[in-house]
Structure 1
């Protein structure tokens, strides 16, 4: 029986197959167990494409489009098809993939003169994509020397990729070949273009959205959320990256290797400080006097440092800011609501005593004295320690927390008294023209570094918690982001090179026997493209210091 392998699928069902059977063939036996198309697999703790052969006994987990890894594979493969369609119709045009917005990726196509393509041309590209999908071309992985790969990039005039590979230490690289086109993509592909039945290009001036398949129905009618504020912040960040000449990792590496990183850090910090000052001025100039500043944002967005820097700018405008911590309004732990898994849901709005919070804030705004609560996390109970607060004419409350933009939190506080700010780390740079660095990855790296520095957590623990953290964000934060009066991008164009120095050693400690290995390997792969920089040039008030340490606000 040497030609037989035994596999456990999804850690429960044991099957045997002939040695050399592909993951694709095995997946067909389990397709009815999944809601959508299976596009990727994990053997033990490492991700593999479906065309990989199984030669040894192992555990297999399959991923469909309901998983983050599955969606990444699908949209990456779709990006390759998009680029192929563009080059077949407009040889001199260039595709630039920017960021995630609404239900897909925001992209732009420019001709050799820098002009954007019309909506009519976009429709033709979508039609050509459909033809490529119908022809069911194989995504073929090709191993080339770095010199050969750079030659292929030169043929396609993808100059950012040439610059990117200049800094790679590896002598060989994996490219993908789709019919006649060779290209590099950071991550895995579906087996063939026939898998990509759901897609849509939606006009979004000046570019368009390549829609995520999970947001297309059977007729591929696309739902577009109203995320104009977020889109405008992304576009502003992209504009500054262009002005700084650093919109890809290759550009950042050039800046580091040429010794100009110090100036880039200073300019980036100055831009951010100016933006915080503008927000403080907006608060001061509001027609109705603002009494409460509400700050919200996802995990590791830098809310804490932002709120402290904003308070300094408010002081410069004549205010006396006072911080209120929403954690002090937790209900007693024994009354905490339970989530669908039967665990205490401390991130639910119902875990807060919103009635008391509204009463306290309104009393403060009315000039009354308030005995402010304090939550004892050891006892799981609210306490009062004689912390009496009373607001004067120039006082203003600064409140930071995940529910800050949820209207239910402040439903009894007059709208004209509130100023709402959404903070997130919206990554400005990509690896190259077609490979983006997700904002989520930037925040995960921040959290890995911060958790290790300040909480003593390993990268294993942070990665293990991340799915639940993201689930809470989808429920409690993202639905309310457009409620903000203003949005603030806390990401720094240089920060990924600083975070690498801290995160990479922690990720290397995760070995292939651990369930978190696949995620660690994915993060390390893109960090490998980035030159690291030391932290000695980072100002003490920088948002980056909230994660790496050495902040003047600690």
Structure 2
């Protein structure tokens, strides 16, 4: 019998196997013993389940929970088990896994009927309901049931999803125009996921379900601690922003990507763009109103948020609305308050850590701010990045009665940045693209993915950066956010959601060609394939529709054509 040669990256060895060998069997043959259980594999830069069969020579890397794709595989699989458990106990309702919080994924039961205002009719859960779901999840995991994968005719899959109270999923696949759809089964229960699953439920060893709001949180370990559930503070403000936006989408009748695709395909994208931009205008005005109410005390507005959240546009539009109210916003660049290069802390790799709070001269910043608040005139610094030193060019500033300072930077919500400033002087804004629109009932859209796509489009348009370079730098960006931004987001006086309901159809127009340029052997190929698959479920906007996006829109910060200077 013919044999196939495959290369295992984990052991740096070439092995021979028979055609049709499953990855799980090949794993045993390699003798590879990882720190954590293997959950999936990357085969020629494509993510595959362990049930995948080998028929040609391949480059294989087995991955566990410590790899982002391993973590995603684990979470998808656990979501399926929770979905099955909820369907067993509450077959008349639909379990919706809505959004990711720092301490878990929020899920709630919904009726297919809607309230009078158009929002989904939620079914409040009690402690006993949560206990019942948790017990059923544990039973399904203890039975070590296999996840099986089948391709069936899309027409049959759509009927199956509708029978199981999955109208969003049914519509999404109905409009996709594919002959066949991949359907996963767990103990006879069908569902569709947008990536591989683990081999069986027994692989899901670390998890918890916790009562929260009207539903519950599905808790999983962080990628850095695969065997440990980490206690995190509850993000009530962030949850409220997600909930508000989700309800607003439902009121519009756009409760998922399937409905969004239908709106675009039926020629109603222009109306949707105008409504979404109108909501943003109201939000910017509301933020300015809050600042105006506190004008007797507030003299400093700090804006912070993760990468590609539209912080710069947010600061400019809030400043514009503040001017409408008679205030005079004055922008101070936080980057001008870096310490001199030789004082900059270094990270674990020995590189300068410019994102650390220690890279900021907080003492000098606090001194200058207090001088301004006391009516004194200061000379603003200018940081020379070429030589790594602070300079002064004679630019003086004195605050007038109607003047208000606006500063944007990653540390804006960290109390240590302005620990010598009276807190009543400060108004903090957290800006982020908090995507609450989901692909379907139990496959939400990662806010990180939305921001990565934003950044990739912007980096290419304005800086000529290759898309793979943006993708490869993204893990480092995310680590900085986890350390310097997310722990402080609940300190915000107000949260602004910069996500727009039409942005993924817009960004697909720009991002898809960029992702297709990435070579199959690039280290960024696995991620580009994942993003391309995700975007394949979304109907893109056309140039005639894109042209009506206003020049002040936050999306112009990424695609170009803004009337603001950046």
Q: TM-score range by the shorter chain?
A: over 0.9
Q: Which residue number in structure 1 is paired with residue 71 of structure 2?
A: 71
Q: Which residue number in structure 2 is paired with residue 14 of structure 1?
A: 13
Question: How many residues align structurally?
Answer: 552
* Shift, 1:450, TM fit: 0.6
Q: Which residue number in structure 2 is paired with residue 41 of structure 1?
A: 41
Counterpart mapping for 1:243-262 below 5 A: 243-262=251-270
Distance 1:327 1:92, change over 3 A: same
**Matches of 1:264 and 1:327 in 2, distance apart?**
37
* Shift, 1:476, TM fit: 0.7
What are the ranges of 5 or more consecutive residues in structure 2 without an aligned counterpart?
A: 114-120
Match for 1:335 among 338, 343, 366? 343
Local SS of the residue matching 2:39:
strand
Distance 1:222 1:331, change over 3 A: closer
Whether contact under 8 Å (1:71, 1:212) holds in the other structure is no
Is residue 540 of structure 1 aligned with residue 547 of structure 2? no
Local SS of the residue matching 1:109:
strand
**Matches of 1:296 and 1:244 in 2, distance apart?**
29
TM-score between the two structures when normalised by the length of structure 2 = 0.93
* Shift, 1:417, TM fit: 0.8
* Shift, 1:61, TM fit: 2.1
* Shift, 1:23, TM fit: 2.2
Whether contact under 8 Å (1:323, 1:399) holds in the other structure is yes
TM-score between the two structures when normalised by the length of structure 1 = 0.95
**Matches of 1:499 and 1:73 in 2, distance apart?**
25
Is residue 550 of structure 1 aligned with residue 558 of structure 2? no
**Matches of 1:441 and 1:543 in 2, distance apart?**
17
* Shift, 1:30, TM fit: 5.9
Distance 1:340 1:391, change over 3 A: same
* Shift, 1:297, TM fit: 0.2
Counterpart mapping for 1:119-518 below 5 A: 119-214=127-222, 223-286=231-294, 289-518=297-526
Deviations 1:200-255 (A, max 9, x none): 22111211111124499999877342211111111111111111111211111121
Deviations 1:172-207 (A, max 9, x none): 221112221121111110011111122222111211
* Shift, 1:158, TM fit: 1.4
Q: Which residue number in structure 1 is paired with residue 23 of structure 2?
A: 23
**Matches of 1:32 and 1:492 in 2, distance apart?**
45
**Matches of 2:223 and 2:516 in 1, distance apart?**
35
Distance 1:379 1:60, change over 3 A: same
Q: Which residue number in structure 1 is paired with residue 116 of structure 2?
A: none
* Shift, 1:457, TM fit: 0.6
* Shift, 1:75, TM fit: 1.2
**Matches of 1:304 and 1:152 in 2, distance apart?**
46
Whether contact under 8 Å (1:103, 1:215) holds in the other structure is no
**Matches of 2:110 and 2:159 in 1, distance apart?**
23
Whether contact under 8 Å (1:291, 1:417) holds in the other structure is yes
**Matches of 1:80 and 1:98 in 2, distance apart?**
14
Deviations 1:424-459 (A, max 9, x none): 100021111111111111101100111011111111
**Matches of 1:31 and 1:193 in 2, distance apart?**
22
Between stretches 114-123 and 456-465, larger displacement belongs to 114-123
**Matches of 1:331 and 1:21 in 2, distance apart?**
58
Runs of 4+ residues over 6 Å off in structure 1: 215-222
Whether contact under 8 Å (1:200, 1:222) holds in the other structure is no
* Shift, 1:4, TM fit: 5.4
What are the ranges of 5 or more consecutive residues in structure 1 without an aligned counterpart?
A: none
Local SS of the residue matching 1:403:
coil
Distance 1:416 1:307, change over 3 A: same
Local SS of the residue matching 1:372:
strand
Whether contact under 8 Å (1:367, 1:391) holds in the other structure is yes
**Matches of 1:176 and 1:243 in 2, distance apart?**
32
Whether contact under 8 Å (2:207, 2:229) holds in the other structure is no
Local SS of the residue matching 1:408:
helix
**Matches of 1:391 and 1:226 in 2, distance apart?**
38
Local SS of the residue matching 1:469:
helix
Q: Which residue number in structure 1 is paired with residue 118 of structure 2?
A: none
Whether contact under 8 Å (2:22, 2:52) holds in the other structure is yes
Distance 1:218 1:531, change over 3 A: closer
**Matches of 2:168 and 2:239 in 1, distance apart?**
24
CA RMSD of aligned residues (A): 2.1
Whether contact under 8 Å (2:155, 2:174) holds in the other structure is no
Local SS of the residue matching 1:132:
helix
Between stretches 324-333 and 20-29, larger displacement belongs to 20-29
**Matches of 2:515 and 2:227 in 1, distance apart?**
42
Whether contact under 8 Å (1:305, 1:543) holds in the other structure is yes
Deviations 1:42-98 (A, max 9, x none): 123221111123344443222222222112111111111112112222221111110
Local SS of the residue matching 2:329:
strand
**Matches of 1:216 and 1:117 in 2, distance apart?**
32
**Matches of 2:99 and 2:85 in 1, distance apart?**
20
**Matches of 1:254 and 1:484 in 2, distance apart?**
36
Distance 1:31 1:318, change over 3 A: farther
Whether contact under 8 Å (1:199, 1:216) holds in the other structure is no
Whether contact under 8 Å (1:37, 1:65) holds in the other structure is yes
Local SS of the residue matching 2:106:
strand
